[in-house]
Chains A and B, each alone.
Chain A
Amino acid sequence: MRTDFFKKPLDFPSEEMIYENLAYFGGKAILPEDNRKTNFPYITKEDIMQMLISIQHEPNKVIDEFANKYRGYVGANYAIPTASGTSSLHLALVGAGVQPGDEVIIPNFTFIATAQAVVAAKAIPVFTDIDPKTYCMDVTQVEELITSKTKAIMPVHVHGLPADLPQLQEICYKHGIKLVEDASHAHSASIDNKVCGSIGDAAGQSLMADKNFPVGGEGGIAFFKKEEDYNRALEFLDASGIDYRMSWIAAAFGISQLERLPYYDKVRARNAQFLSDALEETDLFIPPYVPEGYRHSYNMYRIKLNPAAKGLEDLEDYKVKEAIQRIIMEEGIFAREWQNRPIPGHLPFKNQKGFGNQYPFSLSEVNRKYKVSDYPQTLDMFRNTLTICRELRSPIEYERIQSYALAFKKIDQNPDMIRKVVEEIGELELPYEKDARLG
């Protein structure tokens, strides 16, 4: 039988480790090479038992049970379970009334599915830059992008931090347009205890295996506030013939995973707070910003670098980032880039082929040329941040989060070594000049 069970416990780390030589230069790594992997999602006997229970029921009943339970957890009025996050976003937009040729305002920094869902709704994506503190949509840019064609704003709760929905909601009311949440990173995230997915007119959310709340492999769910929007999405499914149904196997896993989601959320929040507190003690690393009243779900954890605080401001920031990435990987902590180019710079938005023959881009009266240089804050973020993904998403043990914190502190002790690695690196392509990666 295949297993991903860890057979080797991690030793308790010691504060003394931060004064040892960097592993990059031959010292002992904080995390030993044979003990760096993290598991996600956690699969337990409850998941297997639920599967054995669900197999005795009609598939649609299993899917409905899952959707109703999760809808209740989120606090949404209506829900449609789907095969993927992309399809849930597509349904959310269509339900919100987005029609062919309409415009939808979205952030340029997101997973490509956000923008492709707009094209799937046969609408035109209009991109904003990001707020450099939150990495979410820059709300100050939104109003100037609104035209008579704008039907919706779809912010993304980037990495699990809710976007500034209160301000966006005001803009939507003022202009009579819909607010659709891309809550794919934001399971259990909230603003003033209102859970993401239930705040806007509609929402789409991925439930795939690398999300904080995973169903059995691939899945998604669309939420709606109003019955008419929910019905419009159902009517679209019938009229288009498209099969976006969730598998009952995925749903069965969702039922049992949902029972444990609050526990995993607490461990993630505890671990993220531990790491943030440790990074606050360094000069070089700045933890994620979380506004008052906002609950971050930490699907990903983005760390900002501050080379100037260590006298490294004369070096190119993206080279410092590359050097730190190389050094910390050798210590056994996988901090890396997540995305390297604004979505408008990805091939589907450069070529605007759409469904073929440039549809729906051909419906636009504006000859829009998407350029990455229109998003300077995002480009800066790519140059000077690193992201921890699965390694914090997984409800890791205390000694592991301690080790992560020590690794960052160890690097903070060694600015001269960072400089040395930057010199070794020499010429380096900017992250956003490389071909686009999806993650």
Chain B
Amino acid sequence: MDKKKQFQISFVLSRVLNSGIIMSIEKNEKEINGLEKLVAQITKLSYVSVFNSYTGALHGALNGKDIVHGDFVTLSNTSENEQKFLNWLGVFNLNNNETDAFDRISVSWDNISDFEKVLLNHSTVVVDLTDLGFGPCAVVATDEKSVWEKSERLKIFGAFDLRTMWTQEESHPDIQPGIQFNYRVSPLVAACAKVSLIKRGVAVEN
């Protein structure tokens, strides 16, 4: 690992540890919600859903756009891994010149200060935060509420499942879950991603 990255990771982690580590299920929601709010601010997209991997977020964005097994999508310049994952989901990539279904961007310590500048005018973007070095983590950011809702429905213990835990009443029976994965990120990873996006590569205390 290069020294710049290791320094940034150490700096962020020490901030997270200093703030008090709380791993209980109820309290950790704050870390994930905090990351979601921050990404919404940066991308100027209102609805954000956090996943425990880039492929999870890719799946979330596809599901959000109602692109499921047997359907077609347009995503250009896909990596070998992305293509494998689409094949596994049973989604056919048209790979043509039409506009992509959504944007994808990877955030690293090299572009963390201004990555949002390169985002196109898409209403939905998958932001991969894995390269920051805390572990697999990515988000779907969108200005379409229905995309967010269907992304969350893909997650075991996503927003809707958590709500039902307390109300014992399905708030959105119209958006029914099918396959669900545990795409929930560790709150510690979420906290590290959040602090990284707050500092945006500036590793000095004021």
A-to-B contact residues, CB < 8 Å: 1-4, 39-41, 43, 47-48, 51, 55, 58-59, 83-87, 112-113, 116, 119-120, 209-210, 214-220, 238-250, 253, 340, 347-348, 351-357, 359, 434-439
Contacts of A219 in B (CB 8 A): 186
Q: Known interface pairs A240-B84, A245-B135. Does A4 touch B22 (Cβ–Cβ under 8 Å)?
A: yes
Given A1-B18, A120-B181, A243-B54, also A435-B169 (CB < 8 A) = yes
**Are A355's CB and B89's CB within 8 A?**
yes
Contact assessment for A51 and B13 in the assembled complex, using a CB-CB cutoff below 8 Å: yes
Establish whether residues A436 and B83, one from each chain, have CB atoms under 8 Å apart when the complex forms: no
Mark the stretch among B41-49, B67-75, B139-147 that contacts chain A: B67-75
> Does B124 reach chain A (CB closer than 8 Å)?
no
- CB of B50 to closest CB in A, whole Å: 11
- Tell me the number of A-to-B contacts counted with CB atoms below 8 Å: 188
CA of A40 to CA of B68 in the docked complex: distance in angstroms? 38
**Contact assessment for B135 and A86 in the assembled complex, using a CB-CB cutoff below 8 Å:** no
B92, CB-defined interface residue at 8 Å: no
Our pick among A59, A239, A245 for the contact of B84 (Cβ within 8 Å) is A239
What would 5 more interface pairs be, CB under 8 Å, given A86-B181, A241-B81, A439-B165? Answer: A245-B136, A353-B178, A355-B179, A356-B71, A359-B90
Contact between A43 and B23 (Cβ–Cβ < 8 Å)? yes
* B126 contacts across to A, CB distance below 8 A: none
* CB neighbors of A among B102-156 (8 A): 130, 133-137, 156
**Do A4 and B168 form a contact, CB below 8 Å, given A86-B181, A250-B186, A355-B178?**
no
**Does the CB pair B135–A250 fall under 8 Å?**
yes
Chain A residues lying within 8 Å of B27, measured Cβ to Cβ, are 4
For the complex, give the distance between the alpha carbons of A241 and B170 in Å. Answer: 33
A43 touches B21 (CB 8 A): yes
Interface residues on B, range: 35 or more
Secondary structure at the A interface, as helix, strand, loop or mixed, is loop
Whole-angstrom CA separation of A357 from B13 in the bound complex: 43
Given contacts A241-B83, A437-B165, A438-B164, whether A216 and B188 have CB atoms under 8 Å apart is yes
B53 touches A243 (CB 8 A): yes
Residues of A within 8 A of B95 (CB): none
Q: What residues of chain A lie closer than 8 Å to B178, measured between beta carbons?
A: 348, 351-356
A40 with B135, Cβ < 8 A, contacts A51-B13, A120-B179, A340-B168 known: no
Q: Report how far A87 CA is from B56 CA in the complex, Å.
A: 11
Q: Complex formed: what's the CA distance from A87 to B46 in Å?
A: 29
Residues of B within 8 Å of A112, CB to CB, are: 156, 180
CB distance from B186 to the nearest CB of A (A): 3
Distance, CA A24 to CA B79, complexed state (A): 62
Nearest Cβ distance between residue A437 and chain B, in whole angstroms? 5
- On chain A, the residues within 8 Å of B80 by CB distance are 241
Contacts of B168 in A (CB 8 A): 340, 434-435, 437
- Of all A-B residue pairs in the complex, the 9 with the closest CB atoms, nearest first, are A356-B68, A247-B135, A353-B178, A217-B186, A241-B84, A2-B20, A84-B182, A241-B85, A243-B53
The complex places the Cα of A340 from the Cα of B167 at a distance, in Å, of 13
A210 near B25 with CB under 8 A, answer yes
Give Cα distance in the complex from A437 to B179, angstroms: 16
Contact present for A209 and B28 (CB under 8 Å) = yes
CA distance A200 to B83 in the complex (A): 34
Partner of B52, one of A39, A83, A347: A83
Asked whether, in the complex, the Cβ of B56 is within 8 Å of the Cβ of A243, the reply is yes
Contact, CB under 8 Å: B22 / A2: yes
Distance, CA A259 to CA B84, complexed state (A): 39
B69 lies within 8 A of A355 (CB): yes
Q: Which residues of chain A come closer than 8 Å to B20, judged between CB atoms?
A: 1-3
By a CB distance below 8 angstroms, the chain A residues around B88 are 239-242
CA distance A437 to B168 in the complex (A): 6
Q: Which residues of B contact A59 (CB under 8 A)?
A: 1, 133, 135
Within 8 A of A (CB), among B148-206: 156-157, 161, 164-165, 168-170, 173, 176-189, 192
- Which listed residue, B54, B182, B192, touches A249 by the CB 8 Å rule? B192
**Within the complex, which residue of B17, B84, B184, B192 is in contact with A84, where a contact is CB–CB below 8 Å?**
B184
